[in-house]
Amino acid sequence: MAVNKPYGDNARKGAVRDRSQTYNGKIDRWTKRDAETGQFMDQKQDGKPFKGVRKEK
């Protein structure tokens, strides 16, 4: 019988809310931004986008 994963195991389920990411081609990095304040939060060094964070257009 199949069992669902236990809650509280610190695993992300679904998208991260209130955050977005955009690609900065000048420095070849993805930058994560807070949707409420608009402040930049973090950058990825490996050139791959953040997992589970929506992309801006």
Which of 9, 8, 21 shows the shortest CA–CA distance to 50? 21
Distance from C-alpha of 44 to C-alpha of 50, rounded to nearest angstrom: 7
Distance from C-alpha of 47 to C-alpha of 3, rounded to nearest angstrom: 36
Q: Does 38 fall in a domain?
A: yes
Mean local confidence (pLDDT), 29-42: 96
Split at pLDDT 50, 70, 90, the class of 1 is low
Distances (CA, A) of 42 to 5, 20, 21: 29, 11, 9
Q: Does 7 fall in a domain?
A: no
Expressed as residue numbers, the domain containing 33 is 18-44
Write out the two tokens for 47: 């050139």
Q: Does 26 fall in a domain?
A: yes
pTM here is 0.72
Structural contact between residues 22 and 13, judged by C-beta atoms closer than 8 angstroms: no
